[in-house]
Amino acid sequence: MHAHLGDQVVVGGPTVGKPGRDGEVVGLHHDDGTPPYDIRWSDTGRVTLYFPGPDAHVRHVGDAEGKPADRQTQRRPHTPPK
């Protein structure tokens, strides 16, 4: 799994009929875009350190034609949770 800043992480629900979650990748800890990620969750607005499981996938943000946007992977320095 690889992500860039601004991509969306989508996680399946815990059981059938339960909604999943999604959030925006706001921080990377590795230059190659591999996990873990800092995610701003759309349902709470909180930013957490996230290690994706098998039920997660990355939705890459693209341009108007659906092609991946031309952007660089930026690394965000780790800050411990408060």
Residue ranges of the chain whose pLDDT lies below 50: 63-66, 68-74
- Rounded to 10 degrees, the C-alpha dihedral 62/68/74/75 comes to 90
The predicted model scores a pTM of 0.72
Q: Which domains does the chain have, with CATH numbers?
A: 1-82 (2.30.30)
CA 21 – CA 7 distance, rounded (Å): 14
Q: What is the pLDDT of residue 65?
A: 46
CA 51 – CA 34 distance, rounded (Å): 10
CA 75 – CA 21 distance, rounded (Å): 24
